[in-house]
Amino acid sequence: MPSPKIVILGTGGTIAGQAEASTQGVGYRAGQIRVEGLIAAVPDLPQIAAGRTGATLDAVQLAQIDSKDMDWQVWRSLLQALAAALDDAQIQALVVTHGTDTLEETAWLLQSVLQPRKPVVLTCAMRPATSLQADGPQNLRDAVAVAASGVAGVWVAAAGEVHAAQQVLKAHPYRLNALRSYEGGPCAFVEEGRVRWLSTPQTQQPWPAVQITQLLQRDELPWVEVLQSGALQSARAVQALVAAGVQGVVVAGTGNATVHEDLLQALLQARSQGVKVWCTTRCLEGPAVGGGDLLSGLASIDGISAVLRPGAGANELDTVLLPPSKARVAMMLALAVCS
């Protein structure tokens, strides 16, 4: 019987970046080193992968981009590769090397669509591979340890911490521990190759195979934009987007998902014209709690691992209990499912 495998999929990012000097931590070129080179930088990675099951490592270079430039073509390729691997009985777990800039969106996409019954672990770096402070090798080692632990779900392993896809956000532009799970904190810590789990979020059913197939057949996802409410807000941005054919708008409201009156009226008008509109909060921690009875009016979004609080009246927006970056992904998926 063939031995189980842990497959590492490379997509680029800072973890695969190169700079002109080892002292250079910014101004580098992301996505330069192939995934095989990343593996070679961690001498005991095969032993970490072997764990208790004797798994061997395999590597696939799926893409080579700076994650700020993430597009549907790469997302679709990643979904296709992971869906096939999750159906392969020989593959025990998967690791994805990725840039930090859009990692939170990719993690949420994968968790929402796949709800994997195997570990899918994203990892990254805040310094290029050529840096004196290169954090990629340790992060990759930790990610493989998480993969070998056998805990199902989409995880992000970085700086010795393990975060759940729904909670993780990039919270700092430069520090090595740039990723954070607000409120709940990390789900686990990786210490000398050992994973110490604190909690594991409840998983849901994956999308039906036919629905995943339909998603992957799309040439593009629906057009959704994020706007932010604040002082001196006007209706002009919404009006311009509607005129250009936008299909959905997520507004990052102030405080408890409140929206400037001028912006609100434009959003309500957009909704009356068939544009999907959700509100969330621009606050760094916590979902918007809304008003009235907090236990009533909550609804799951069809096919998406997210919760929506419908507006109480014709002049209120629906509130999604996700940060803006993930809310946008959720809306794109919701529109794709419905169209």
Query: Are 185 and 247 in a shared domain?
Result: no
What distance in Å separates the CA atoms of residue 161 and residue 250, rounded to the nearest whole number?
Answer: 30
The CATH number assigned to the domain holding 305 equals 3.40.50.40
The answer as to whether 207 is a domain residue is: no
Kindly state whether residues 54 and 175 are assigned to the same domain: yes
Domain assignment present for residue 49? The answer is yes
- Assess if residue 91 is contained within a domain: yes
Determine if residue 101 is labeled as part of a ligand binding site: yes
CA–CA dist 264, 244 (Å, integer)? 19
Q: Is 44 annotated as a binding residue?
A: no
Q: Is there a single domain that holds both residue 69 and residue 152? A: yes
Residue 229 assigned to a binding site: no
In a domain, 210, yes or no: no
In the set 53, 56, 97, 100, the catalytic residue is: 100
* Count of Cβ atoms closer than 10 Å to residue 299 Cβ: 11
In a domain, 209, yes or no: no
How many domains are contained in the chain? 2
Question: Are 155 and 236 part of one and the same domain?
Answer: no
* pLDDT tens, residue order, the chain (339 aa): 788 999 999 999 999 999 999 999 999 999 999 999 999 999 999 999 999 899 999 999 999 999 999 999 999 999 999 999 999 999 999 999 999 999 999 999 999 999 999 999 999 999 999 999 999 999 999 999 999 999 999 999 999 999 999 999 999 999 999 999 988 899 999 999 999 999 887 777 778 888 899 999 999 999 999 999 999 999 999 999 999 999 999 999 999 999 999 999 999 999 999 999 999 999 988 888 866 454 455 556 656 667 888 887 888 999 999 999 999 999 999 999 877
In the block, residue with structure tokens 């070129």: 29
Among residues 164, 181, 197, the one where a domain terminates is 197
Round to whole Å and give the CA distance between 133 and 139. Answer: 12
Would residue 14 show up in a list of annotated catalytic residues for this protein?
A: yes
Q: Which long-range contacts (CB under 8 A, 24 or more apart) does 204-212 make?
A: 204/115, 204/305, 205/115, 206/113, 206/114, 206/115, 206/116, 206/117, 207/113, 207/114, 207/115, 207/303, 211/303, 211/337, 212/79, 212/83, 212/113, 212/114
CATH code of residue 66: 3.40.50.1170
- Residue at which a domain ends, from 197, 214, 248: 197
pLDDT, position 2: 84
Answer yes or no: do 168 and 227 share one domain: no
In a domain, 208, yes or no: no
13 and 136 housed in the same domain: yes
Give me the phi and psi of 86, to 5 degrees please: -65, -25
Query: Residue 113: beta bridge partners?
Result: none
Say whether both 12 and 145 belong to one domain: yes
Q: Are residues 261 and 123 in the same domain?
A: no
Q: Per-residue DSSP letters for 135-173?
A: -HHHHHHHHHHHHHHT--EEEEEETTEEEETTTEEE--S
* Same domain (yes/no): 178, 102: yes
Whether 100 sits among the annotated catalytic residues: the reply is yes
Give residue 297's pLDDT: 55
Is residue 214 included in any domain, yes or no? no
pLDDT of residue 299: 58
* Per-residue tokens: 25: 């931590």
Q: Same structural domain for residues 235 and 155?
A: no
**pLDDT value at position 295?**
47
**Given the residues 14, 97, 130, 280, the one annotated as active site:** 14
- Does 235 lie in the same domain as 159? no
272 touches 312 (CB < 8 A) = no
Q: Is residue 308 part of a domain?
A: yes
- Write out the residue range of the structural domain in which residue 132 sits: 5-197
Q: Are residue 175 and residue 323 in the same domain, yes or no?
A: no
DSSP structure class, residue 321 = S
